[in-house]
Structure 1
Amino acid sequence: MDSSSRISYELVNYSEDIQQVQDAFCKEGDMYVICMSKTNGQITSFSGEKSEEDFVDANFSSEIKNKLLESFVDGSPENVVEVAAPEDYFMYRAVAIRGDEGKVIGAWLCFGIDRGSIPAGTSLPEKVSTTTVVQFDKAVALMETVSKCYFKEKLYSHKLKARLSDEKNAGLIAEDKLKKNEIMTAILRLMESDDSFMKVSGEILKEAGLYVGCTNTGLIQLSTDGTTADMIIEWSSQEKRLSETFKGIPVEELPFMNGKPYTISSDASLPKSFEDFFGKFDIKAAILLPLNVNESEAMYLCFVSIGQERQWSVEDIRFANDIKHILYNILVKKITANSLASSYSALTAILQNAGYGVVVADVENRQILYTNDTFNTLFENEIDRVAVQELIFDKRYEISVLNGYSANGSGKWFDISLHNIKWVDEREVRLITFYDTTEIRSYQKKAEKQAQEDSLTGLFNRQACEKDISIEYHVAKKLGKEFAVLMFDLDNFSHVNEGLGYQAGDDLLEFIAHSINDISAISGKCYRVGGDEFAVLVDHEHFDSLDLVIKRIMNLFDNPWTIKDQQYYCTISMGGVKAPADITDASAILTRLTIALHGVKDRGKNSFEFYNEKSDVVMAEKLKLEQALRRAVEKGCREFSVYYQPIMEFIGGVPNCCGAEALVRWNSSELGLMMPDSFIYEAERLRLIGDIGDHVLYEAAKTCKHWNDFGHPEYKVNVNISVVQLLQKDFVDRVDKVLKATAIEPKNLTLEITESIEVTEMDNVVNTLFKIRNLGVRVALDDFGTGFSSLNHIQKLPINTIKIGRSFVSDIDTNDFSKAFVKTISDLADSLHMDICVEGVEDSKHVDLLGDYAVNLAQGFFFDKPLTKEEFGEKYI
């Protein structure tokens, strides 16, 4: 919950205090006031008698109240607004209530009656209060001051509570890490016991069950003839024990006994066979992992919740798999009677790819006995490696946890735990684990504001443009002035990139940006809002110079631009909008600009025109789509469905399903079924794509988790991500929230981004994607070859998969360029150890030709169309 949401919540929960403030202002100021929340509506009751309330309701309409509330702009310094009154003696004002970063979360709505302006002969109800303009304005000004102080204090209080909560959560995480480390240390000691497999396993299952917090853990063993199964070992936290009745169970009654792992939480949708099995033993949730010996599933490790609802977390699943590896190695040890080899093998299997660094050291002889890959990666810096070795062998460190260790060479921070254990050869050693807390510490710092500057040209970007237009709209409207916004792009800009190279294209954009920004009337009000798209704001103070500004911009392109000692002629198409005029809100300006710009291009380019009112038909359709889209999101995105198109992996030349790409469809109750091309752009423009994207991401991850739990742990799901989502400041947190909510293995989730990423946003996107990769999530570059600077993208972006667009596959059998392109990119991906996926495979000849290249993934209608979740489950699960 952000700070603004917290304060909005307080407006409701502190309504009693706010009511007292309101009553005092109404009584002392001879005025009428109500408090409105942006999210919860009116939160105070009327201060006065019934006759007064009836009069105010009749003359202070909902329309006027909403108009006052919507007049405020987030981030604007303006805290008091007024609207025109239907009667000269009525006065309407609103005082903003702002949360964090100046966000408007509510307002005091004030109504006053100027006694000096009441027309002769006009009668008012007996007890209705009247005032003067001077007294009314003084009361409003006092209310503004009181509001600032009161809500500033509330905001500070909530930030403090949130900070304390965060610190408490961090402490719980550290405590859990310590607890897990202690349990794993105890279990590792059990591995060297000479006791029987049954006794050692029983102790391990007890420790594991207590840590995970389930009701029962056990081992189920298959009979020698493979027809029945028994629970041979069990730990239970309650009187009810499965092993008492789990004897001689026919294998056909055990749907999980097929060699596949299952992770089933209480909210999972169960097939009939699992429903019968769970019902028979009153099981609400279970983790069932095969314990294979000699390539056959001799046993199953079970973590079970009987009679209690349970949602398994990612940590639960990882811990269960660690226990599985331990039991396997103990079993192998007992079989092979090779204690030393099997114990070391177990350590390697468990710790080698752990998410934390592990060191085993003989302190007496100053000898490192074991390090895992994570430790070697964490301490690549030579200065840090030397310093940490001194810590490892320093006998003074006897405490179990050492927090806040700083590695000066790399600048990283670590929490460290130390334990004395026996090594596989019985000698006393020190086990040390290193947890990298650098990122956690960075999160504790105040989040940086998202950059609003275009890195290539130095101009402001689209976000800054939209904000400035919104502020200018409200200022101009209040002053009764006009301003204008111009938008243009370069005609046939792709010819520059293709003919002179992408660096030349970047140089041209820089020259143009500096030339336009040098025009005095618009200096500092020029924006790069797209690849070769620019916007110009001519504010109300310079509106009289509008014609001159337009002429100067167009004249810039009458002469050639010098690029790499070559002269290049370039033209532009430009549209304009004057405002406020009949425009009701600032967001409509960009829509009109886009219509005007497209109109110019449709009529031959290289010219300028203002928005044409005859385009209202187009506007009406856009408005209808916009309203339907807003309503669909407000309803919780239930109208957006997720389809799944299978992705095939070639194994030995044979395509096998390995997951799917999630594709969104909008089944609008007003407009019917709509494909993404019809609404995604509008969703991005209206900043609704975040909510829609969150819905699709959650549904896709939840569905994939279901596939993984029911016998296909290798299945992955790909989700398309808009660049607008990537630029959200909290996008990484949103992805992490989905991972935790669905408990999906991060490696089974792939985010697909397109080459539409512009140079202006590249640094922000790269930074975000590296954080995504640190969560364990994979990244794919979609439609490769259709955008700009493709090879540069491969170099900069942290990608796992390259997806070649369908345009290169459709004619691969006849077009030499397509053949060469697919071969070149697939060879490049192979050398960089990336996966390569081709889209649009629609014919068997495509499949035959792809066998000649280093392509390991493919999708298209030849294999299958996009399917509903139910259809996909029937065919591939």
Structure 2
Amino acid sequence: MTENSKKDEVLTDIVQMLESNESFTDIVEFIFRKAEEYLNTTNACLLQINPNGTLISTIVDYKSKVGRNLMINDRPLSKFTICRNDVLILNDILVDDKYKKIMDMLGVKTCVTVPIVINGVIAMYFAIFDSERAIEWDKLQIQFINDISIIIQSIAQKKITGNSLLSSYEVLKEILSNIGSGIIVCNKDNATVLFENRIAQESQEIRRSMKAGIEDFFDADFVYNGRATEYYDSESGLWFEIKFADLTWIDGSRVIICTAMDITQKKKNQQKIEYQAHNDFLTGLYNRMRCENDLQKIIKSAIKENAIGAVLFIDLDDFKHINDGLGHQFGDILLQQIAAGLQSIPGLRGNCYRMGGDEFIIIILPELYENIDNIIMQVTTIFNKPWYLMETEYYCTMSMGIVVFPYSGTDVNELIKKADIAMYEAKKSGKNRYTYYDEGNDSNSSKRLDIENNMRLAVASECTEFVVYYQPVVDTFTGECVSCEALVRWDSKALGFMAPGEFIPLAEYLGLITYIGDYVLEAACKKCREWNEKGHPDFRVNINLSVVQLLQKNVVENISRMIDVTGVNPKNIVLEITETFAINDMERVMKIIKGIKALGIGIALDDFGTGYSSLNYIKQLPLDIIKVDKTFIDDILEDDYAQAFVKLIVELSKTIGTKICVEGVEKVEQYEFLKEIGVDFIQGFYFGRPIAVKDFERIHLK
């Protein structure tokens, strides 16, 4: 609210006291209290001269919460130099000595006195003091003080003479025309307009709103509750607050006074506050608080109508990789693109929410529930296409949990929790998929919390609970174990031995995978050096690097430091990167891979065939090994497509000078087929499962 509008609002309230039947002192005290709202001073007094004109005392003495007792009563008028025949404005920065003494005695830094004339004689003084500040008044404030003194003078004159509202219509007209609010006075019986102030006459938008308000007021069905009513003027786009009050007019007739104040800025501020309270500032979607409020209403309606709805809880897969690797500004752009994509699905605008971070919720309204399968398909389709960041394609998938209400519950927090549980099940099952909530998942939720708490403790204890297992990689033609893959396991003191599928997705979700990955990298490098020095100089170890590790700004420096610390021969280390990482931001990926290879380390592309790679991507990357995913091997003896795919990759590898390793080989027939088509390396249960280091050494490094 501007200073001018604040002044006008206070004056509007004060003017309505002109016809009050309360005592004079109560009215003046009300006026002083309202005046403090605008002037923010510590004291206001109404001073009276005794009949013989020798002493001055207080009729009304008002002080704010920080105001002090000024002790003015019965002081000699001759020494009370601040009471003069004209307006006096002082502060203690620039003040004559004749005034300074009285200001020091009162303990004030600011003083304003205005004489109040009754029947041609100064009978009182309206005085404003401030004991805290030396105020330099502006024109608006001085005009405000002058208007207050006129109103007090008019009220005093009325109380003394017993005449009507004001002894002078011209004085009333002057006061009401100087108020920044629109004012219209109407006859209470027939709505005839008796008076309009300057604002009501000249401002068409205020006039339109006041006319509409007056028409409503005099409507037979209208019941006025004494509260202000808000009116919107569509032509100007402005909001006005309309108030009504009963008064006795100058001629003694009963009238209605209608006041209108421009509250457009106030409404804009309210709308801004409401938007900020219910909307996510980044994406423009509704936020968690709005989600919970809306969901509560929708559930209540669904129960009443015996209908069904659903909550879709979305969490982005590996969003941290993009956020950390490219920078938060590009992570923000991705979130904005996702928000726009979700809202573009028919029926979802207004029902999508950002819960925080990379989590979103979609509420499927009961009237859309029969179309839920199509909506889910459209959501998954959005995430199966690349996102464009920095003029480059990036893939970012999502895991989604779905819970149906009211079947799975009616409590908002419980439903969101169950959708979150279902989402985690989808993530644990391999990401880039959706899962419906199952009551059996509740026990998994409790287990998840145990895993999370114990994992944090294990990482904080320097990862000593994590152990490295090794799986043999065999030369297809010699049958000799020439290398191995280092795979992490967790031997938890509290939870027992845990397979990677039980904790790796959660470690990625919690952002702990970097610490675990660095621990495995160092342990595997140390073991490789040991084996090289004990009779296996060319034996290599393959080590998986998480996308989070690879996207760290100092990834090459970190790997170089690890090589130096462990003393391993870098040519015997092969770092495996995922296909998803390889296809995002080719320029950045090339820089990282070239930096790693410059250390003498080999690079393998892991899980090839499961993502979105094209052969063009593969040709650009300086790879040493391509590892074909197990999914192509399971049915390779019967599946013509799988056979053709692996043969194609073998031929491609010969052209671009890389080796091929096939994972998941479990049968001798698979091994013979792969050997026949020229695959270089084999990895799978047929040659050995991942086992502890001592068992691996005993079996494969004799």
Larger radius of gyration: 2
Normalising to structure 2: TM-score of the pair?
Answer: 0.42
Normalising to structure 1: TM-score of the pair?
Answer: 0.35
More relative contact order, 1 or 2 (CA 8 Å, 6+ apart): 2
